[in-house]
Amino acid sequence: MNSLPFPPSGRQQAQERLLRIKELIMQGFAYSDEKVSVASTAADVVSKHMVRLDRDFSMLEEELPSYIRDGSPPPQITTTAAAIRNAPKRVEASTPKKSAAQRAAVGAALRDETATPQPVVSRHGRQSKPRRRSVSPVSPPRATVTATVQNDEEPTYCYCNQVSYGEMVACDGDDCEREWFHLACVNLSAPPKGSWFCDACKKAPPAPKRRRGL
């Protein structure tokens, strides 16, 4: 049985459809190639970033100290902490205990060495008193200082005839015998501003003025 031939109009439509299908297939191939190219480019970029990150991480790891990489505390801090924990024990074992009187005597002696006023010789030949200043703000009891520190060689000051301790004020009298006075003994809470004279210098007549040589 012989097949019937297509009519001219149907054959033309079939050819047009085949051409359209061929065009669509070719476009699909082009799109697929473009997708492959984009994916390959993205993979290359990611690979480059991974290499750079690995290099930067290696450099950072080399710059870190070993104890940070290992996660352990630094050795100097550990040693210092151990030394601090053991320090009081070594001090207690090696240093004998001192009585309260001995500790007070040593502290007062140290304060006297740094707080004793030193007179200064002026250009007119007489001794002028040092500037008024505050010494140690912590004043030990006068009885303790008298019993443990005072001796025949150390100078005494003030109405109480004791050594220098605590805060003191200097008399501005030229011929003042005691020179320095404890604030508590002269009923002062702080060093006064300006000139200050003790009771003896206030009652003393004013010294005659000396003529200056030509």
Q: Which residues are annotated as a binding site?
A: 158, 160, 171, 176, 182, 185, 198, 201
Cα distance between residue 95 and residue 143, in whole Å:
27
- Residue 180 to residues 34, 43, 120, 193: CA-CA distances in angstroms? 102, 90, 14, 15
Burial of 59 (0-12, 13-18, 19+ CB in 10 A): exposed
> Phi/psi at 181 (nearest 5 deg)?
-135, 140
Q: Which residues line the annotated binding site for Zn(2+)?
A: 158, 160, 171, 176, 182, 185, 198, 201
* Residue carrying structure tokens 């061929």: 22
